[in-house]
Amino acid sequence: MTDPVVLVERSDDGYAVVTLHRPEARNALNAALRAELHRVLRDLDGDESVAAVVLTGSDPAFCAGLDLKELAASPESLRGGFDDAADLRRPVPTMTKPLIGAVNGVAVTGGFELALACDFLVASEHARFADTHARVGIMPGWGLSVLLPQAVGVRRARELSATGNFLDAPTALAWGLVNHVVAHDRLLPFARKLATDIAGNDRAAVRQLMATYTEGSLVTAAEALEIEQRHSRAWLANRAGDDLDARRRAVTERGRTQL
């Protein structure tokens, strides 16, 4: 039997941790890993016991991008393992639950795009990011030219793509690419705590908020405001009001105890 290329841990606290597991190849995305990652994330997104997913890599890397050795030997491997061509448009399937990237090492090119596909990122002090598409002589196809400018601004995104230079964790934090930088041994405990916080909220509300953010990010600001208002009206129309006071008290109590 071959070793699994994706490890899955379900927590009793209502989240799952997914680990890319090709450490000998720096978790490079070969066809088998891409297909298994899609399958695992689809399954978790459909699991009502899971409110959030943490995505990380087996040390020492988060993800070195597409497996260029496999791609050079078999260009058709780029399509291998997918149900249809639409899956190729993103490194992860469309999800309704928050996906937290816990970046434990280098995230390069396709691995950078994988990180950008997460809803938000926590980085180890060892994390480094690079867009080396131009160095390799290929073009991004998983959203980098859209998502990277959203994260760091268009001028910084252009610099990263044109130079192929690495971005260290402190600079990634200063530029707004990652939400937090923590000591390497604190990365997963920190990400798990965020996932637990998410799981403690109204799960349907979290899913709706994530969907609203996603839909609004693809249109103008004026259209995004209309989307938010439409979702808000529909939500209120379909929610019973008799539990709002209890929820308000729970929020107040949580605010008193949260550090």
Q: Is the pLDDT of residue 77 over 80?
A: no
pTM check: above 0.85:
yes
Domains of the chain: 6-199 (3.90.226.10), 219-257 (no CATH)
- DSSP 8-state class, residue 257: H
The amino acid occupying position 41 is L
pLDDT interval class at 76 (50, 70, 90): low
For residue 259, the model assigns a pLDDT of 54
Q: What is the mean pLDDT of residues 63-78?
A: 76
For the chain, the three-class secondary structure string (H helix, E strand, C coil) is CCCCCEEEEECCCCEEEEEECCHHHCCCECHHHHHHHHHHHHHHHCCCCCCEEEEEECCCCCECCECHHHHHHCHHHHHCCCCCHHHHHCCCCCCCCCEEEEECCEEECHHHHHHHCCCEEEEECCCEEECCHHHHCCCCCCCHHHHHHHHHCHHHHHHHHHHCCCEEHHHHHHHCCCCEEECHHHHHHHHHHHHHHHHCCCHHHHHHHHHHHHHHCCCCHHHHHHHHHHHHHHHHHCCCCCCHHHHHHHHHHHHHHCC
Over residues 1-13, mean pLDDT: 92
Cα 71 to Cα 141: distance, rounded to the nearest angstrom: 15
- State the pLDDT confidence band at 103, using cuts at 50, 70 and 90: very high
Give the model's confidence band at 52: pLDDT under 50 very low, under 70 low, under 90 confident, else very high: very high
Q: Which two tokens stand for residue 192?
A: 């798990």
Instruction: Give the residue-averaged pLDDT of 1-14.
Output: 93
Can you tell me which residue has the tokens 């690495």?
Answer: 166
